[in-house]
Structure 1
């Protein structure tokens, strides 16, 4: 009987998107797995491959220099259609692949063994594969090893997702937020898609802790995070970058729209009463930085927004400042 989860492409894509892993930087946990595959199975190439709408993107790739391929030429695109491993002993004799440009040209794939990366809810989002440039058999012991390592890839993806959320606010952690920023940078470099960063922190937060205690401070942090989450667009990302400092990433927003959004957040925070005993009020200062080709990493982009934030605080707090522009008072 046909497994419906192998044919439900929208649900499969949603399962992949939940990991928020596409276009993120390389990570040692995944690189170590592909290195192990090469060493144990004796193959020149191994990859953790994730299948997006129209591309195969590599979270880890050992033995080859590439970031992605079109989906229609990916061996992995066939692997995700089955529960069982896909093994190709000689691609030149397989009707599915003998005319494939990855077989007829670089990297000259001849043999392939791929294990579907199955999520806990049963969707195949990609594969862990071993690739050779000569025809070969993969014995049952090697396939068993590959299965175990594929399960480890999924475990790493799950751990990565758990570690991406701050326990107090539910916002992205600093690491996860920087990954989102780096994804926005990749989209900007590839397709010139705009994005802007709002960086803010709670004004005089130490006074709140000193006057009311740390539980009250946590209440303010949580309340402001919930407020920002309720105000942001579905495509925006909120991150807690440390203590009382937050970032809001605005995809598809230039400086003008980002400045208006920052003012809206700033005004809303100032007008909000944080419930509790006693009820509390707080304000926040904002720095705004539109993405530019001058900032090739999340950290450099963050540094520019931080300079604007410093200007907002220096000029009186409870206001916004735009990178390389004069600050604007909150109303």
Structure 2
């Protein structure tokens, strides 16, 4: 059966927002996975509740639409196409309901309306990531006109939220339980994926190592409860300064690593310096006292490394230089043979 849901690719150069949307989709690491019962259960339930022949969980990628789950549809993916239903659905926050496609000028000439499967009705809810980007849709289609009740539309909304909740749960399984940063193992897996992408695209990949200054003293003086809160606040503060494509992982007690895809030296420096300043400005309250903290950051850019270990080793040397130079600063190293340069404090 032919598929109607498609998403227009607007222009040769993607906007920053579209790049961030694609990064949000990529973070779920769901594309090209095997069929999964958790999502198939949702589409089966959608089909039963709405009594429609076609249901999709449709993830909108750069140049294709990939169906995470499907009912009544044979294809697993289709190219992104102009003049589609899903491009309209993904552009809005509310469900898109097209009660009669032949009477809607936006879709009356759609090939999936005038040709097979002769779709007459469409409803789709956007799947909104935690960053606020619509990464796809939960949509249902029929070959006859329909009218949905407000209750049915609300049920579809809830089912769409269940799709996103399931995606988020899968991320949590790979997260550090205290801070929400990536676990060490998942960070290394993500780094391998980013290195593979960098090799294909030819774009630069930078990596930062963040170490909280005098963290042992914070634990000894204020207790581990305050120390844990400080770790949580530092990660949240750093995340707020990162782009959607960036990733942060906890690789040690008070040590975190950040992947900065498509970030050469200058842009990477700008990002990590924002993080350093934001952390230095934050405070944690404990027993009416305000406790501040700083971080030392080592930064480097991948050259031709095949894995993340030598990149992290170089960033670690930069952290050591930052701490030796007085802490609360960013130090950048180019490669294993270059001297560390103190670039911000």
* TM-score interval, smaller chain: 0.5 to 0.7
Give, in angstroms, the shift of residue 273 of structure 1.
Answer: 9.8
1:246 alignment partner, SS class: strand
Q: Does 1:69 align with 2:80?
A: yes
Q: Is the 8 A contact 1:48 1:60 kept in 2?
A: yes
Equivalent of 2:219 in 209, 220, 224: 209
Residue equivalent to 1:8: none
What SS does the aligned partner of 2:207 have? Answer: strand
What's the offset of the Cα at 1:148? 2.5
* Match in the other structure for 2:161: 154
Structure 1: runs of 5+ lacking an equivalent:
1-12
Shift of residue 204, structure 1, vs aligned partner: 6.5
- For residue 266 of structure 2, what is the aligned residue in structure 1? 257
- TM-fit CA distance, 1:74: 1.9
Q: Distance in 2 between matches of 1:187 and 1:33?
A: 32
Residue 245 of structure 2 is aligned to residue 241 of structure 1: no
**Separation in structure 1 between the aligned mates of residue 67 and residue 333 of structure 2, nearest angstrom:** 35
Given the alignment, which residue of 8, 21, 25 partners 1:22?
Answer: 25
Aligned length in residues:
294
Instruction: Calculate the aligned-residue CA RMSD, in Å.
Output: 6.1
TM-score normalised to structure 2 length: 0.52
CA 1:118–1:95: 2 relative to 1, 3 Å? closer
Asked if 1:117 is matched to 2:125, the reply is: yes
Structure 2 vs 1, CA of residues 188 and 309 (structure 1 numbering), >3 Å: closer, same or farther? closer
The aligned residue for residue 296 of structure 2 is 284
Instruction: Provide the residue aligned with 1:306 in structure 2.
Output: 312
Q: 1:253: how far off?
A: 1.9
Shift of 1:96: 6.0
- Calculate the TM-score normalised by the size of structure 1: 0.54
* Residues 191-230 of structure 1 mapped to structure 2, 5 A cutoff: 194-202=204-212, 205-206=215-216, 208-218=218-228, 220-221=230-231, 224-225=234-235, 228=238
Structure-2 change in CA distance of 1:271 and 1:85 (3 Å): closer
Residue 248 of structure 1: CA displacement?
Answer: 3.9
Pick aligned residue for 1:129 from 139, 142, 148? 139
CA contact (8 A) 1:22 1:57 kept: no
